[in-house]
């Protein structure tokens, strides 16, 4: 049996664990092969250096990828589907779409009812005793007057007394419409004289201030009144209309300054006919504005 010459000689690998350093057989002084060791160490250092460089590259790539992902993520936040909330302090969110602005305009002034009752050219609505004095009674506040007879004539002088016939004729009266109302022993006749324009009506009002009156109108349960007794008379005008009242007692008694019932009735009748004529103008102004 031989000793020392068994199997093949073992090889040493510096990267393989438990490998053995080769030793020379025969004539070997037991000194390590320092040249081989140095070469192995240099080779090992080169490999480590490459690994470190490669690892750094990987780390750089990883960091670059993370930054890119962060940028993409930040950019995706700007694609807002609602109202941004992280605005600068001085910023404001626009509210909807811009509203177009227009130059201010002014509405035309309303039509004046007095213009429509100032002349026959514009005052063209139907006119009669029924339109001026509608219904069967007159209510003013808490007072109710019963409506009596009505009269409508183009011969204005026939329904007037004192100086009024001459005044109406001289100023071109075209129509005289009358009605009588009564309550509690007091009766009053309203007369409306119609002219072509308001200048004529205003002139009649001024001229009829004294010794001029509309004749009382009896009928429909109202007997004659103010034929010989002292009665209250008034004269006024609005637009192309002059209007008059004659108010007194049905029993023929003279009216004095103490007879408040007569004066109250006279005020009611004047206010009523003014309202009726003015409403006529309002109705025509409204109709003209809606054409």
Q: How does DSSP assign the chain, residue by residue?
A: --SS-SSPPP---TTSTT------SSS--S---HHHHHHHHHHHHHHHHHHHHHHHHHHHHHHHHHHHHHHHHHHHHHS-SS------TT-----SSPPP------PPPPPPHHHHSSBTTT--S---HHHHS-SSEEEETTEEEEEEEEEEES-GGGGEEETHHHHHHHTT--EEEEEEEEETTEEEEEEEEE-SBHHHHHHHHHHTTSSEEEPP--BTTB---SSSS--EEEEEEETTEEEEEEEEETT-PPP-TT-HHHHHHHHHHHHHHHHHHHHHHHHHHHHHHT-
Q: Write out pLDDT tens, residues 214-270.
A: 999 999 999 999 999 999 999 999 999 999 999 999 999 999 999 999 999 999 999
Per cent of the chain over pLDDT 90 is 60
Question: Could you tell me the pTM of the whole model?
Answer: 0.63
Average pLDDT over residues 147-154: 98
Q: Work out the average pLDDT over 89-95.
A: 48
What pLDDT does 255 receive?
Answer: 97
């Amino acid at each position: 049996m031989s000793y020392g010459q068994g199997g093949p000689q073992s090889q040493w690998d510096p990267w393989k664990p438990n490998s053995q350093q080769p030793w020379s057989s025969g004539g070997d002084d037991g000194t390590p092969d320092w040249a081989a060791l140095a070469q192995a160490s240099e080779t090992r250092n080169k490999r480590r250096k490459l690994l470190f460089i490669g690892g750094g590259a990987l780390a750089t790539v990883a960091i670059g990828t993370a930054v890119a992902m962060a940028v993409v993520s930040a950019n995706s936040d700007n694609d807002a589907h609602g109202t941004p909330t992280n605005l600068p302090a001085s910023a404001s969110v626009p509210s909807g779409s811009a509203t177009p602005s227009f130059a201010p305009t002014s509405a035309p002034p309303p039509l004046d009812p007095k213009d429509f009752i100032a002349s026959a050219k514009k005052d063209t609505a139907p006119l009669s005793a029924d339109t001026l004095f509608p219904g069967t009674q007159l209510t003013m506040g808490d007072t109710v007057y019963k409506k009596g007879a009505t009269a409508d004539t183009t011969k204005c002088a026939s329904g007037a007394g004192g100086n009024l016939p001459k005044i109406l004729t001289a100023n071109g009266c075209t129509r005289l419409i009358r009605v009588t109302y009564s309550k509690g022993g007091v009766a009053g006749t309203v007369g409306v004289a119609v002219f072509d324009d308001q200048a004529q009506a205003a002139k009649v009002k001024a001229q009829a201030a004294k010794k001029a009156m509309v004749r009382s109108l009896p009928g429909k349960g109202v007997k004659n009144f103010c034929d010989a007794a002292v009665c209250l008379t008034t004269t006024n005008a609005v637009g192309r209309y002059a209007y008059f009242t004659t108010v007194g007692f049905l029993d023929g008694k003279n009216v004095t300054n103490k007879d408040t019932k007569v004066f109250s009735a006279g005020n009611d009748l004047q206010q009523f006919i003014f309202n009726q004529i003015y409403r006529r103008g309002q109705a025509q102004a409204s109709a003209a504005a809606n054409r």
